Structure 1
Amino acid sequence: MTGEVGLRERKKAATRAALSAAANRLAVELGVEHVTVEAIAAAADVSPRTFHNYFSSREEAIVASIIDWADRLTDELERRPADEPIWDSLQDVYLATLDDSADARARMVAQIQMVMANPTVIANQLAAFDAMRRRFAAAIAARTGTDASRDLYPHLIAGAAAQAVKTSMDLWAAGQTDRPLRELVADGFAQLRAGLPQPGRQTGRPAS
C-alpha cells in the first residue's frame, strides 16, 4: 500500500510539473494574455478538468514552479545536519539548485520579461515568494529553537537569504555583471553574514 501511495504521489507531482512547465513555456512564447487553460492542458497531454484539479488559474500554474522550488529547498534544508550553522545550510541548499549556464540566463531573462508584462502574474509571483519565505521561516525556526509565530529571527533570516538570491538573479539576468550567478549569491550571503558593512568602511577608511 505504501508503494502504491508513493507512486500515486509521484504521478501527481509529475502532472503538476508538466502543467506548470507548459503554462510557463506558452506564456513566454505567446504572452500571458494569449494563453488558455485548454492550451496548457493540451500541451501537457491532460484534460482541462485535470488542470483544475491542480490550479485555479493560468497565472497560478505559471508561477507554480516557485512553490515547487520552495518545497524542494525546504526539504533539503530540513535534511541538513542539525548542528550546522543556519547560514551554511541556507547557502549550500540554494547554491545546489542554481544554473550558471548561458541557456539558464536566457530562460531567466525571458521569464522576467514575461512576468513584468502581466500585473496578475506579478501578484501571483509575489504571493508565491511570500509562501516560500514562510516555509523557510518555519524550517529555520525548527533548526534554531525559535518560534515562527512570534519571533522575528526566522523570518528575517528567511527573507534576507531569499532577497540575496533574488537580487543576484536580477543583476545576473540583466547582464549588469559578468560574475557567475553562484559567485554572486555566495558574495551576497557573505555580506549578510558580515552585517552588510558599508563598502570602504571595513578598515575605517572612507569609500573611494
Structure 2
Amino acid sequence: MTLDPVAPLGLRERKKRAARRAMSEAALKLAMEKGVEQVRVEDIAGAVGVSPRTFNNYFSSKEEAICSFIVERQERLREALRDRPPEEPLWEAVSTATLETYGSSGEPDRDSVTLARSMILHPSVHGEFLKAHARVEQVLADAILERAGAGAENALNARLMAAIVESAVKTAFFNWLVNEGAEPFLETIAVLLREASAGVPSLTRPEPAKKPKKK
C-alpha cells in the first residue's frame, strides 16, 4: 500500500520512522566511535533496546543503517519544501528548503573530519553512501514534481533539478572532507546552488483542462 504523499503521517508510520531514526543514529555514533569494522548489528540493536531481528526488519545491513541519515535528512527536506510559500519561485523554494534543512543541524564539527572520512570512504560504507544519495534524489524529484504539477516534461525536469541539488550537496560534503573542514560545508552548498541557478530547468504548472461547453 502506497501512502498518499500529501497526507499527514499516522501514528504507526511516525513510530516506524522514529525507530528507524534511532537505529540509524546509534549505528552512525558507534561507527564514529569504534570504526565500521568493529560495529555489529547486535551492538546497534542493543544500543536502542531492540532485537537484531527488529533491526533487520528496517535495514539490510549495518552499512545501510549508518548511511540512513542521508535519507532521513531528505525526508525533512521534502517537508521543508512543502512548507514554502506557494507563490515562491520553484528554484528559490528548493534552494531555501535545502539550506534550511542542512543548516538545521549546524556546521559539521571540524574535529570529526578524519573520522568521517575513514567511515564514508570505507569500501562497504561508500557503496551504501552512493545508493542512499540515489534514493533521496528520487524523493526530492517527487517533491519538486508535487509542487510544480504533473506532466511528462515536468517529471523529466524535476529529476534533473533534484540531481543538481544532490550534486551540489555531495560536492560540498566531499570538499569539506578533502579540505579538513577548512571550507565551510553550508556556505559551499549555498555557493554551488547559486552557481547552478543559471542552468536550472524550468518547470511549469500545467493548465487545467477546459471543460467542454454544454450545448
| Normalised-by-shorter TM-score class | 0.7 to 0.9
Task: State which of 36, 43, 54 in structure 2 corresponds to 1:39.
Answer: 43
Structure 1 residue runs of 5 or longer lacking an equivalent are 197-208
2:32 paired residue number: 28
2:119 paired residue number: 114
> What secondary structure, in the 3-state scheme, does the structure 1 residue paired with 2:186 have?
helix
1:111 CA displacement: 2.5
Sequence identity (%): 41
Structure 2 residue runs of 5 or longer lacking an equivalent are 1-8, 201-215
2:204 paired residue number: none
> Is the contact between residue 100 and residue 180 of structure 1 (CA under 8 Å) also seen in structure 2?
no
1:162 paired residue number: 166
Aligned residues: 190
Task: State which of 100, 123, 126 in structure 1 corresponds to 2:130.
Answer: 126
Distance 1:45 1:159, change over 3 A: same
Matches within 5 A, 1:1-208: 6-97=10-101, 98=103, 99-101=105-107, 103=109, 105-107=110-112, 109-117=114-122, 119-147=123-151, 151-175=155-179, 178=182, 180-195=184-199
TM-score (norm 2): 0.76
1:66 CA displacement: 1.0
Q: Deviations over 1:26-74 (max 9, x none)?
A: 2222222221111111111221122122112111111111111111111
- Most deviating of 125-134 and 94-103: 94-103
Compute the RMSD of aligned alpha carbons.
2.6
Distance 1:178 1:32, change over 3 A: closer
Distance 1:10 1:145, change over 3 A: closer
Distance 1:28 1:171, change over 3 A: same
TM-score (norm 1): 0.79
Q: Deviations over 1:50-107 (max 9, x none)?
A: 212211211111111111111111122123223311221121111112244462x334
Q: Measure, in 2, the Cα distance between the counterparts of 1:189 and 1:157.
A: 11
> Is the contact between residue 148 and residue 155 of structure 1 (CA under 8 Å) also seen in structure 2?
no
Distance 1:144 1:14, change over 3 A: closer
> What secondary structure, in the 3-state scheme, does the structure 2 residue paired with 1:82 have?
coil
> What secondary structure, in the 3-state scheme, does the structure 1 residue paired with 2:50 have?
coil
